[in-house]
Structures are given as structure tokens and as C-alpha cells.
Structure 1
Amino acid sequence: MNQREKQLQFHKNLATGLLVLMFVIYISMVFLQKKYPEMSFIGYVKAFSEAAMVGALADWFAVTALFQKPMGLPIPHTNLIEERKADIGNNLGGFVVENFLKPKQIRSHIENIKVSKYMVEWLSKETTPEKIENIIKGMSLNVRGSQMLVEFLDKGKHQELFNQLFQKIEVYISENQNVVRREIDNQFPPLIPSFIREAISEKVVDGLQEFVMKITRDEAHSVRREMTAQLYDFSEKLNSSEWENKITKLLQDNVNKQISEFKTNEEFQKKLDVWFQKTAYRFALRNKTKIGDFISDTVKNWEGKELSQKLEMEVGKDLQFIRINGTLVGGMVGLVIYALTQLL
């Protein structure tokens, strides 16, 4: 039994104990009145205890009827929470939508939310850099990158990239033959006659075009195989702690730079706040009916007994004070009525 359950049980016992006390006093006064009829104050005490007992019983019935059937009797309109949980769910969902999700109310609350302020506060904490570093390390980007690269290569998807790469090289050579020839020509000593240089340059360009074309057309070409092997080798290196540290440092430095800029860029912070407020406002308006339905469905899906127990745990302590007050107020009313009767 937790603390709340203990408190509820204590107040239940207190209210019930007060009822029992009134019963004992009433019985005692009945006998005393018969034995000492001349003692008028006994009548007042008897009237108080009698009315208090009635008030206590009435409020006990009212409070108990909310959560269960009093004494297990099948009395109509009792065990209300369990019997009417569907209505309670609908009413609660509708109540929240109608009273808490109106446009004006939503706007007034959302406009006070400064998400940038919370972000700056969190980012300024001493423990935040370490947390961010742990997040980056926990992502294991080097391992994930290695796995993705191996999967990419195993499925042969890299061949399409090779095709595009060598096709572009082929097109470039074709469209820029004069530039390529000139660059090759510049590599020869001036003493070599120009017609020889031009002939050699043309042969080199033609040979280069043919070589690139072969690589483009043949997926089993030795150049492609060598490039594929280099990529597999790189995927293995990615798994090393060296690359993990490199990637972590690169990302950490970039994140730290972005954080520093964010904390000092008030204009961007305002834009972020406005964006968040507009997004949250639109989301709340679009989904307020869904929020109401969610509350209703949640309550409906609870077991009737579970719902009854939850609500009793929340308000049961206060309801026991109603029983106590009912006992005392009932007694006072009975006392007043008895006193007025004696005066007539």
C-alpha cells in the first residue's frame, strides 16, 4: 500500500469512526433519557447525534455510490463511475476541447512559449557538450557508413555511379578535345616539330577516348575492379577507431560552431520561436478534435473498476471530508431544529 492509499484509508476510517461515535452517543442518550428524563440537555445531545448519524449515512451512501454499489446492493444509479465510464470519457474529452483548446486560449499560451530560450539554456549547461558527444559516438556513424557502403557494393549499385562518372569524362574529352590536345602539346619540348606534337596529341586523345569508352561499356573492366576493391578497402578502414575519432571530431566541431552561432543569433532565435508557435498553433487547431477523441477513447478503454479506483485515489480523500462535514453539519442542523421545537 503506497502513501496515497494509506492516506485515503486513514480518512475513510476517520469518517466511519465519526459515524460509529455518533451511533454510540445516540444509543447512550436513548438509555440516559429514559433513566434521567428530567435532564433536558440529554435531548439536545440525542438530537445532535441522531441528525449527525443521518447526515453521515446519507453522505456515506452518496460517496460510496460514485465508486461502487453500497453494501453490494443493486440500487439504481449507483456505482456511477464504472457504469457510466463511456459518458465520462465523452464528457471529459468534450470538456477539454471546449474549455482548453479554443483558438484564443491556445494562442495566448503558445505565444508565451519561447523554445529558443529553453534551447539556449540547455545548450549552455556544462554537461551538454559531453551529452552531445556521447550522442554522436552512440550513433556509430563510421560503422553504419561502412555497413551501408558494403551493402551498396554487394548489390552492384556502384556500377551505375561508375557509368555516370565515365560517361561524363567521355563527354568532357569529346567536347574539349582542343583543350586536351593543347595541354598535351604543352608537355613536349619546343624543339619537337609542331606537326609531330599534333600527331602525338591526336593519338593520345583518341586513345584516351577509346580507353574511357571501354571502361564505360565494360563493367568487368580492370579499372572498375580496382576502384571497387579500393571502396571495399575503404569500408574496412571506416570501422577503425581512427575513423571513428575523425568523424566524431568533425561532427563535434561543426555542432559546437552551430551552437555558438545559435546562442548569439537573436534574429534566428526569433524566427525559430515564430515558426514553432505557428506550427504548434496550427497543429493544435487541426487536431483538437483528435485530442478530445484520444482522451475519450483512453477513458473508455480503461476497465470500469480501474477507472473507478483511479478517480477514487485522486479525489477520495476530499470526499471523505464531505462525509465528515456531513456528519457535523447534519448534527448542527438537527440540534437547531430540536432547539426551535423546544421553544414552540
Structure 2
Amino acid sequence: MKSADKLGQSEKIRYAERDAELRQMRIIATALLLAMAALFVFGKYMETRYDGHWGFLRAFAEAGMVGGLADWFAVTALFRHPLGIPIPHTAIIPNNKERLGRTLASFLRTNFLTTKVVARRVQRMDVAGAMGKFLSAPAGGEGRMRMGASRLLGDIIAALDDERLGGVAKGEIRKQLDKLDIAPLLGQLLTAMIRERRHIPVLDGIIKWASATLEANEHLIRQMVEERANTIMRWTGLDDKLANAIVNGLNKLLHEMAEDPDHPLREKGEEGLASLAHDLRHDKELQAKVAHWKGQLLENPAMGKWINSLWDQGRDGLLKAARNPDAALAGSFGDALIKLGGRLQEDSRLKLQINRFARRAIVGTTENYGDNIVTLVSDTVARWDASTITDRVENAVGSDLQFIRINGTLVGGMAGIVIHAVGLLI
């Protein structure tokens, strides 16, 4: 049926099984009705030509036909017009689907989604125990958790609107970066680095960078000296000697700083870093400058591209991990889940707290959102077309309606025998 296309895969299988059973019972009920018609013709023929008790057979078949036809009409009239003829008060369910939806929703709200009923039902629920058994099951719990949760997580991530969700996530990242007071944080980080002597590699890196920069830009230093030298210095070649002296002196200084951890300039550099760390934490003017620089950095298009790539990489990583059951919940995280399952079964105090929270959450959800749930039911039924609601309800009821036709045929036949016998006695 068409409505089955809207269901999930597992539900489709159950739907098809019920539909096959319904068709089989419909064939049996119709075949029984046709058998009664054939039996009536045979019984009538025998009754008119021979004496005896053939009248009982004819009466049985005749009344069975009437009962079967009446019940066929009644069952069919619930869902559609018999033989396609728009007889009044037929196709009752599709013609009244809005009222049916409202009645069903009201029934659910009144009899099931009330605070007292839900509270009574969840009073003995052991949510923590069930979670503990599921998480710590040595044979299949971990596998079920990996397969089920990983697949569910992957489907959820893939189904979410990437553009909308990405916009929200990237906007939240930018918002948090904008709220972050970065200067004191940098000051604390720098202070901790100096205290633990982790700034040494930074200084070494600065010295190596300066040495490489000097080597790559020697020609600029020589050009500057030559441009500023007078004619006499250029004639005598003193400008080249001066440039060589500057370059060699700087190279020697950088080499000594790299080799000597106690070099005076390194000490000055450490003092400068310590002063910068202090100012970052306490100097309001410097903090304002850093905040301004941070704002300019956030407005830079390159930062926007970086945030976009950060979201894309994070989403792709989540999808890959979620769709790999051996990676999503494996390793230390999977072990932690198993340990949590054991604790949920052993720690009575923790079980009590979780169960109490779960019960309050369920009851609170019912109280706060019960009306929304029943509105969802009534609106969903109202949106179904006539074919969908007919197929859904008829499939849900299943073969019981066809048993009504079968019973009506047989009971009608028995009633026909009784009526015929009474007629003979009178």
C-alpha cells in the first residue's frame, strides 16, 4: 500500500506481514460467502426435486449468505463506499478523520497522558538499572552500544540542516571568541610558561628566526649602509667594511645568545617577557589594545575562512567517527561506559538519584507537553489523506474484521437452520 512507503524499514516489514495476513483472511471470508451462495443454489435445487431435509441445507446457506453480505457491507462501510457507490453513512473513517483524530487525541490525553497515570506507571521504573545492564553487558552490550549509538549519531548529524546548523555553530564560535577577554588569559599563560621554564624554546625560536632573517636580508643592510654613506666612504671602500662589520657583529651576537643560556640579552628578553605578562594581566590600556586587535582579527576574512574550515573539519570528523562503530565508542570511552554501567548497578545511592530524576523528568514532560503531544496526534491524523488513514487503520485492526465476516456467515447459517426448524414445527 502507498502509506507503507512513509514508514521506516522495520515498520515496513511488519506492515507488509500484517497486510499479507489481512489479504489472506479477506480471501477466506469472501470464499466462504461464495461457498454459501453455491450451497444455496445446490440446496434449493435438491429441495424442489426431492423430499427430506434438504430444506435445512437451503435455509442454512440462505441465512449464511444474508449474514455474510450484511457483515461485508458493515465492514466495508467503515473504510470505503461498498462497490464504489456513495451510499450515505459509508466510508465512515475517511469521511470523519478530523473528528477521529480529535477523539483519539482527547482519549490519549484523558486516559494516558495525565500526571497521576504517568506518575503511577513510572513509580517502579528502574531506569538506572536498565541503563547499567545495557552498558555493562559483556556479550552484546558494548557491540549494541557501538552499532546502535554510532549509527544513530551518524544519521542525526547527516540529517541536520548543514547550512543552518553550521551557521549556528560558527556564529556561536565567533560569539564566544568575541566575549573572551584574551589579554589576562595570555598573561596567565605567559606567566606559567616563565615559571615552568617553558619559555626557553620560545626564545630559542626567536633567536633562530632572527638569525635566518638576517641571513636572508644581508643585501638590504648593505644597501642601507651604501645609501647613507658619503662619497669619501664609498671611494675608500669603508661602506663595505662598515656593512660587513654590522652583519658580522649581529651574526656573532645571535650566535652567542643561542649558545649561552645566561647571555645578558637573553636575561633582558626574559625580563621583557615577564613585564609583558604582568601588563597583560593588570594594564588596562594594554588590555584594551589587545581587545581591539582581537576585534580586527575576528573581522578579517581569513578568520572567517578559518572558522568555516574548523566547522567543516569538525563535522566531517564526527561523521567519520560516528559511522565507524569500532571507533565511535571504542577505546577508553567504551571502557568508561562499561564501568559506568557497573556502577549504575552497584551504587544504590546513584541509582536512586538517577531514577528519581528520570521519573520527575517524565512526569514533568507529560505535564508540560501533554497538550502538544495530543495536538500532534490530531494534526497528523487530519493531514492524512483518505487512502492513508484507511490503510493505516485497516492494517492496524488486522484480520479481526474479516473474522467478523466469517462469524457472521456461520452464525447466520445456524440462525437459518433454527428459523427453518421453528417454521416446520409451526
| TM bracket, shorter-chain basis | 0.5 to 0.7
| Cα distance in structure 1, aligned partners of 2:280 and 2:63 | 108
CA distance in 2, matches of 1:19, 1:309: 23
Structure-2 change in CA distance of 1:308 and 1:130 (3 Å): closer
What one-letter code is carried by the residue in structure 2 that aligns with 1:28? F
Match of 1:49 in 2: 61
Within 5 Å, give how 1:1-344 maps onto structure 2: 2-36=16-50, 39-126=51-138, 160-163=181-184, 166=187, 212-213=278-279, 216=283, 217=286, 262-344=344-426
Does structure 2 retain, via aligned residues, the 8 Å contact 1:66–1:81? yes
Q: Distance in 1 between matches of 2:374 and 2:418?
A: 49
Q: Is the partner of 1:6 in helix, strand or coil?
A: helix
- The root-mean-square deviation of aligned C-alpha atoms, in Å, is 4.3
Deviations 1:144-182 (A, max 9, x none): xxxx9xx989x9869942256549999xxxxxxxxxxxx
Deviation, structure 1 residue 263? 4.7
Alpha carbons 1:169, 1:212 under 8 Å: kept: no
Asked if the contact 1:59/1:326 (under 8 Å) is kept, the reply is yes
Preserved contact between residue 344 and residue 351 of structure 2 (Cα < 8 Å):
yes
SS at match of 1:78: coil
Shift of 1:319: 0.8
In 1, distance between residues paired with 2:38 and 2:379? 48
The CA deviation at 1:107 is: 1.4
Task: State the distance in 2 between where 1:331 and 1:258 align.
Answer: 66
Residue 399 of structure 2 aligns to a residue in which SS? helix
Aligned residues of 2:184 and 2:280 also touching (Cα < 8 A): no
Residue 66 of structure 1, CA deviation: 1.1
Give a deviation string over 1:97-132, Cα, whole Å, max 9, x none. 112223332112111211110121123223666888
TM-score (norm 1): 0.66
Report the Cα offset of residue 316 of structure 1: 3.8
Question: Is contact 1:56–1:324 with CA below 8 Å preserved after alignment?
Answer: yes
Partner of residue 176, structure 1: none
Tell me, in whole angstroms, the C-alpha distance in 1 between the residues paired with 2:58 and 2:276: 120
Distance 1:343 1:131, change over 3 A: closer
Displacement of 1:253 in angstroms is 8.1
Q: Note the C-alpha offset of 1:30.
A: 2.2
| Secondary structure of the corresponding residue to residue 89 of structure 2 | coil
CA distance in 2, matches of 1:107, 1:213: 59
Change (3 A) 1:254 1:210: same
TM-fit CA distance, 1:94:
1.1
Measured after TM superposition, the shift of residue 33 of structure 1 is 2.4
Decide which moves more: 158-167 or 82-91. Answer: 158-167
8 Å contact kept, 1:120–1:263: yes
User: 1:261 offset after TM fit, Å?
Assistant: 5.2
Native 8 Å contact 2:114 2:366 kept in 1:
no
- Provide the secondary structure at the position in 1 that maps to 2:356: helix
1:212 positional shift = 4.4
Give how far 1:67 is off.
1.3
Q: Distance between the aligned counterparts of 1:3 and 1:325, measured in 2?
A: 23
Unaligned runs of 5+ in 1: 140-147, 171-204, 225-234, 240-247
**Separation of aligned partners in 1, 2:407 and 2:280:** 98
1:65 Cα shift? 0.8
CA shift, 1:57, in A, is 0.5
User: Taking structure 2 as the reference length, what is the TM-score of the superposition?
Assistant: 0.55
SS in 2 for 1:77: coil
Number of the residue aligned with 2:259: none
Q: Distance in 2 between matches of 1:325 and 1:253?
A: 59
Taking the aligned partners of 2:36 and 2:146, their CA distance within structure 1 comes to: 69
Rounded Cα–Cα distance in structure 2 between residues aligned with 1:86 and 1:314? 18
Amino acid at match of 1:18: L
2:132 and 2:345 map into 1 onto residues whose CA distance is 6
Q: 1:252 to 1:303 in 2, by over 3 A?
A: closer
| Alpha carbons of structure 1 residues 338 and 276: separation in structure 2 relative to 1, 3 Å | same
AA aligned opposite 1:47: A
Write the distance in 2 (CA, Å) between the matches of 1:335 and 1:324. 17
Do the aligned partners of residues 256 and 327 (structure 1) sit closer, same or farther apart at CA in structure 2, a change above 3 Å counting? closer
Partner of 1:185: none
CA offset at residue 336 of structure 1?
A: 0.7
**DSSP 3-state at the match of 2:137:** coil
Could you tell me the percent identity over the aligned residues? 30
Relative to structure 1, the CA distance from residue 28 to residue 111 in structure 2 (aligned partners, 3 Å threshold; closer, same or farther) is: same
